[in-house]
Amino acid sequence: MPHYTILITPTAGNDLAVAVEYYNLQAEDLGYRFADLAEEYLNRIAITPTASAVRYRNIRCKPMATFPYLIMFTIDEPNHVVHILRFFHTSQQPL
């Protein structure tokens, strides 16, 4: 089965950068461990995006282990693309 292309929106890219910076301030290299885990999850999503639950209309959420984040994304099935919308901290307000 071919993998999906992952496209990260500017908002999601910013979410990731802010989280990495925050976690690096908390402990040495913790932010980089967060980034490595995020990359691992993105690779999983690229292989089987439909394995994640639909939570909001057509938005799927993949919870990350260890860190309180959800990776929120949509699937563009005809083009075989996954759009990463947010790296969402679970204590944030959704809107």
Residues 6+ apart with CB under 8 A from 45: 4, 6, 52, 62, 71, 73, 82, 84
Query: CB–CB of 84/12 below 8 Å?
Result: yes
Residue 7: helix, strand or coil by DSSP?
Answer: strand
Quick check: is 95 in a domain? no
Residue 17 pLDDT:
96
pLDDT band at residue 94 under the 50/70/90 scheme: low
- Per-residue pLDDT tens for 31-85? 999 999 999 999 999 999 999 989 888 999 999 998 999 999 999 999 999 999 9
* Secondary structure (DSSP) of 68-83: SEEEEEEEETTTTEEE
pLDDT at 91: 80
Domain residues for 66?
5-89
pLDDT at residue 56, rounded to an integer:
85
The answer to whether position 71 is within a domain reads yes
Q: Which amino acid, 26?
A: Q
CATH of residue 36: 3.30.2310.20
- The structural domain count of the chain equals 1
pTM, entire model: 0.89
Asked, for residue 58, whether it belongs to a domain, the answer is yes
